[in-house]
Amino acid sequence: MNEVTRLALLLGLAGVAVTLAGGIVRWYGDEGRRVRRGLTLILKGEPHGFLVARGRGRGIGFNFTSNQVAVAWDRGAWGLRYSLGELMGAEAIVDGQVVGRVHRAEPRRAIDAVAAEQRVALRLVFDDAAHPDFTLDLWLPSDAGRSDELPPGEATEEVNRWLARIEALLRRPAATPRGMAAAPSPTTAVLAPGFRGDAAAEDGRDARERDADAAVDQDDHRDRAII
């Protein structure tokens, strides 16, 4: 093998390595994966359901083990965590108008057939005075031509599906997170046999014993008086 062939082979291997490294970087830096990693960090566990707004670097995720919901922005670099009990509802926004919604103690209003021209968004509403809502823009006119564009019709259908999912979540009874035991009610707590209580319990037993001794003394006094 002459020097020219060896050099060509080395250049070819270097090109393959660079291409492979570039592919790995693009895969790892994909917007959706970055948002999902951010949601995982916020929830301290894998999200069991999530939605990413492509091109906006924003997303929402749910973890049903901890009963929490997370919102993330700036491609997952920043976010907030709420309990599912703080999720009050969601709204579908098309061209600046609320065309569908679901809220606690209200029936769901599904999206009617609408043709979006300016915007399709999903807004989550929380019981939090500092951060009461979070909006995901699923389609904007500026998305035209992007390889991962979600057409307005499909974006509207996606928002409608998420309204149905959130309605199902709002109907779920509050559950104790897995791995956490509910504290026993003071009215139902029962001491195991042989359990030695605190000083108050000992004082109560002593008082009962003194009352019993006093009753015996009274009986003895009556017996002696009869005799």
Q: Inform me whether the pLDDT recorded for 193 exceeds 80.
A: no
pLDDT value of residue 68? 95
Q: What pLDDT band is residue 125 in, cutting at 50, 70 and 90?
A: very high
Least confident segment among 33-47, 110-124, 143-157, 169-183: 169-183
Q: Is-above-0.85 flag for pTM?
A: no
Q: Inform me whether the pLDDT recorded for 21 exceeds 60.
A: yes
Kindly report, residue by residue over 130-169, the tens digit of the pLDDT. Answer: 999 999 999 999 888 787 778 888 999 999 999 999 999 9
Q: What pLDDT band is residue 84 in, cutting at 50, 70 and 90?
A: very high
If you count them, how many residues does the chain have?
Answer: 227
Kindly report, residue by residue over 87-119, the tens digit of the pLDDT. Answer: 999 999 999 999 999 999 888 887 776 788 899
pLDDT value of residue 177? 43
User: What own/partner pairs with CB < 8 Å and gap ≥ 24 does 76-80 have?
Assistant: 76/34, 76/35, 76/36, 76/37, 76/38, 76/39, 76/41, 77/38, 78/38, 79/38, 79/39, 79/41, 79/42, 80/42, 80/131, 80/134
pLDDT value of residue 220? 45
Of 146 and 39, more confident: 39
Distance CA 32, CA 13 (A): 31
In the chain, the percentage of residues whose pLDDT exceeds 70 is 66
